Structure 1
Amino acid sequence: MLMAQSLFILLKRTRPDCHITVLAPAWTKPLLERMPEVDESLVLPFDHGELKLGARRRFGKSLASAGYTHAIVLPNSFKSALIPRFAGIKQRIGWRGEARGLLLNDCRYLDKAKYPRMVERFAALAFPANKKLPDHIPDPRLLVTRPMVDKALAKFGIETTGGWPKRLIAICPGAEFGSSKQWPAEHFSMTSAKLVADGWRVVIMGSAGDAAIAQEIYEGIEKRVGHPLTDCCFNLTGKTSLAEAIDLMAACTLALSNDSGLMHVASAVDLPVVALYGSTSPDFTPPLASISRVLTTPIDCRPCFDRECRFGHKRCMTEIEPHRAVAAVLELYAK
């Protein structure tokens, strides 16, 4: 959803009077509320993978009176194109896939060489087919205010010294895609312990599903620094809402993250990001922050885009050594 903001920005630039309504799952609402270009959001009442053809038809029909003139369908599935068709929206735009030509009347062939990045594929749908993209595609940027940040910092007991917290790094160890995208807990704890010893504070962030690895990282940091982590390490995994995670991320100095949703959140609040890529590729979904460093390994089998390592060694992640991450953090901090 975050990279779709680039599309929304371009739509507003080229058609200032357009009204943008986004139909998306409920979990995206905190993101959409931080996008000034979005005028309205509607909750998609279907879970991922559900067809429910009759219910989709009824839902689509219920939107017909809204008077939508254009629908841009970003997911590539057949079922995602059903609702605009049932709603009777005249212009239905999207990339070809799953025989969607039956539902889309501006169904485009995707030249992956021409548009290698996901953000480019979204942005291209703001323009007529075959029109050249602008030289610069606007990066996603979520709206965050100081009161929002102060409220989140106060709730989780992260003190400031008059201004923004200094040398506060967000550690994002989760990877819902699969373990092939996950840097080892030991590497995160080694890196974090080195930074804590140098005076940094650490915030471990993620969903409830990341709680086990986060606790392993926290305990590893504590063991390495040799003292309790009171006031220097905050394990907030599973304790924040998405809105709070956005605000806390905005308060940080840097983020160290796997290729994950939180990496893109950090980028969208323009936080300097050190991004760890294993099975996936920064050529497709890079961090879109103004300042970033991507760490990878040169092994032949990456990127494979497998959720789990087919060889079982996960060398693409394990061989990104902690000292490289520390050096990258300090390099970005010096900027």
Structure 2
Amino acid sequence: MQATNALIIAPQWIGDAVMTEPLLRRLHARGERLTVGALPWVAPVYRAMPQVAEVIEFPFAHGGLQLKARRALARQLEGRFDVAYVLPNSLKSALLPWLARVPMRVGYLGEARLGLLTQRLKNPPKQQRPPMVAFYSALSGESDVAADRPRLQIEAARCDAVLDRLGLSRGAYYVFVPGAEYGPAKRWPAARFAELAQRLELPVLLLGSGKEAALGDEIIQRAHTGQRQNSRNLAGRTDLLDAFCLIAAAKAMVSNDTGLMHVAAALDVPQVALFGSSSPLHTPPLSDQAQVIWLKNDPGYQPPLDCAPCFQRECPLGHLRCLNDITAGRVLQVL
């Protein structure tokens, strides 16, 4: 029996991409051959999923329909696929499978794309939306999707080479991820990260994008006082799969609610995840090795955080109590 050829249109955020892995695992288990189409900064996530046969990096940029580029790629893909799963909710993400004449096109309703999809799931309101893993896995049409947990796999030889190049040993350092692409309301203060680095007995590596290099430098400068000179800022200085390797080999990781938080969970690395303006009820790190600190659900924290989760990029009240009041000592105790 010939395998069903499936095209997966990936989301544009690293964390969301990680949370699609259980869906892809289900599709692969029932015999579908998976090709993932993803933007370049997300594509490496799918190279850490062994069930994915092929990854196509989309030549698209943020914003606009970019119809000319989509039509050109659609002509190359026409006739290759039996089904497409459109994971983002946008109109433009559903255009490519439609232009490529993929017979079956599965996705959630939204952004006036009714005619672009052949199988449409009702999109629940944001306040009623299930956790993201279940939201994506429901596109398989199967039940019991809430029990799934994402898993990633990295080639051991690649990771050994990364550690050798940087002079590191497995389990002999911590990883910090101090940034958050969404905005300041998801970032634990740099001074807190620096204090925690000073109090740890092992070296610290800071990871993130090039946009977060200055934040990493600030933490390094604050942490390197007295005799402590063992923190290194690698934000923007590794590619994504190398960052995965560094996370996989760490003793533990401390991060904000960001994409690499989900990577650590999928690699089953011990971690402390710090939540402020967002909610671990919707996008938790799905691992028994993960510990979440969220003052919103701490009955001992007074006065209560009635403002959280606000899901804003910046604190609308100006105090950012939800993160400022998480002490380095508390994180150290959990670690």
Choose the corresponding residue for 1:306, options 312, 318, 330.
312
Distance apart, 1:260 and its partner CA: 0.8
For the structure 1 residues 95 and 135, does the alpha-carbon distance in structure 2 shift closer, same or farther, using more than 3 Å as the test?
closer
Unmatched runs of 5 consecutive residues or more in structure 2? 1-16, 297-304
In the TM superposition, 1:92-111 aligns within 5 A as 92-111=105-124
What secondary structure sits across from 1:65 in the alignment? coil
- How do 1:7-18 residues align onto structure 2 when only pairs under 5 Å count? 7-13=23-29, 15=30, 17-18=31-32
Change (3 A) 1:89 1:34: same
Q: Secondary structure at the match of 2:52?
A: coil
Aligned to 2:295, the other structure's residue is in SS state: coil
CA contact 1:116–1:283 (8 Å) conserved in 2: no
- Aligned partners of 1:77, 1:135: CA distance in 2, in Å? 24
Q: Deviations over 1:281-326 (max 9, x none)?
A: 1111111223111111221111111111112221111111211111
- 3-state DSSP of counterpart to 2:253: strand
Contact 2:133–2:146 (CA under 8 A) maintained in structure 1: no
- Asked whether the equivalents of residues 138 and 145 of structure 2 are also in contact (C-alpha less than 8 Å), the reply is no
Q: Does 1:169 align with 2:174?
A: yes
What SS is found at the alignment partner of 1:282? coil
Please give the alpha-carbon distance, in whole angstroms, between the structure 2 residues aligned to 1:54 and 1:189: 48
Q: Show the counterpart of 1:284.
A: 282
* Offset at residue 6 of structure 1 (A): 1.2
Q: Could you tell me which residue of structure 2 aligns to residue 5 of structure 1? A: 21
Q: Is residue 2:87 matched to residue 1:74?
A: yes
| Corresponding letter in the other structure for 1:253 | K
Aligned to 1:193: 198
Aligned-pair CA distance for 1:228 = 4.7
What is the match of residue 332 of structure 2?
A: 326
The farther-off stretch of 111-120 and 208-217 is: 111-120
- Cα contact 1:100–1:107 (8 A) shared by 2: no
| Identical counterparts, % of pairs | 39
Shift of 1:59: 2.3
**Could you report, residue by residue, the CA deviation over 1:83-127 in whole angstroms, capped at 9, with x for unpaired residues?**
111111111111111111121111111335775201111111112
CA distance in structure 2 between the aligned counterparts of 1:300 and 1:171, rounded to whole angstroms: 28
1:235-274 CA distance string (max 9 Å, x none): 2122111111011111101100001111112112111110
Amino acid at match of 2:237: K
Q: Contact between 2:270 and 2:289, CA under 8 Å: does it hold in 1?
A: yes
Which amino acid is the alignment partner of residue 216 of structure 2? Answer: A
Runs of 4+ off more than 3 Å? 111-115
Which SS does the other structure have where 1:325 is aligned? helix
Distance 1:114 1:177, change over 3 A: closer
Q: Residue 268 of structure 1 contacts residue 288 of structure 1 at CA under 8 Å; is this kept in 2?
A: yes
**Partners in 2 of 1:212 and 1:84 — Cα distance?**
40
Structure 1 counterpart of 2:151? 141
Superposed CA offset, 1:26-47 (max 9, x none): 1223222111010111111211
> What residue is the counterpart of 2:250 in the other structure?
252
Structure 2 distance, partners of 1:258, 1:86, is 39
1:90 matched to which residue of 2?
103
One-letter amino acid matched to 1:136: A
Query: Does structure 1 conserve the Cα–Cα contact (< 8 Å) formed by 2:110 and 2:123?
Result: no
Q: Aligned-residue CA RMSD in angstroms?
A: 1.6
In structure 2, the partner of 1:233 is 231
User: What TM-score does the superposition give when structure 1 sets the normalisation length?
Assistant: 0.88
Match of 1:326, as an amino acid?
L
Whether the aligned pair in 2 keeps the contact of 1:273 and 1:289 (CA below 8 Å) is no
Counterpart code for 2:111: E
Out of 32, 35, 56, the position equivalent to 1:42 is 56
1:313 counterpart SS class: coil
In structure 1, stretches of 5+ residues that fail to align are 330-335
Q: Deviation of residue 50 (structure 1)?
A: 2.5
- Does the Cα contact within 8 Å between 2:108 and 2:121 map onto a contact in 1? yes
Q: Distance in 2 between matches of 1:43 and 1:146?
A: 24
- Distance in structure 2 (CA, Å) of the matches to 1:114 and 1:11: 26
Q: What SS class does the counterpart of residue 246 from structure 1 fall into?
A: helix
CA distance, structure 2, for counterparts of residue 267 and residue 47 of structure 1: 29
Aligned mates of 1:277, 1:228 — CA distance in 2: 28
Contact 2:187 2:256 in 1 (8 A): yes
What TM-score, normalized to structure 2? 0.88
Q: Which residue of 1 aligns with 2:9?
A: none
